[in-house]
Amino acid sequence: MTEAPSLLVGAGHLQPCLRELGEAERSEDRFEQVFLLAIREGQVEPAQWADYVWSVPSPQGQRLLKNGRTLDLPEENVAELNRRAQDFSTLRLPVCRNLGIIL
């Protein structure tokens, strides 16, 4: 199945495309990568992934941004990570599973 797209790309009939990402979307990719790491380390639920991710920037004094505003309270940061983890679970995780990135 991978031969057909390769042939079409090679012949110039098909071109791979990636959407252009802004800074905010790139930073979310970082969290998605850590969500995947959390899953690989046995965390099952999105809330567990959020806690796992929060354990990385929290000790370093880092905070998340939401709508251009720094989330100062730990509860705000965890709530935002929970939201992102839920979105990831619904939108991106199925794609990652289908691509074999995560089992």
* 3-class secondary-structure state, position 69: strand
* Cα Rg of the chain (Å, integer): 17
pLDDT band at 85; cut points 50, 70, 90: very high
pLDDT single digits (tens) 21-75: 554 444 457 889 999 999 999 999 999 999 999 998 899 999 999 999 999 999 9
pTM for this predicted structure: 0.71
Q: Would you list the domain boundaries of the chain?
A: 21-98
Nearest alpha carbon to residue 81 among 73, 40, 97: 73
Rounded distance between C-alpha atoms, residue 62 and residue 45, angstroms: 24
The CA distance from 82 to 20, in Å, is 25
For residue 89, what is the DSSP state?
Answer: I
Query: pLDDT at residue 80 above 60?
Result: yes
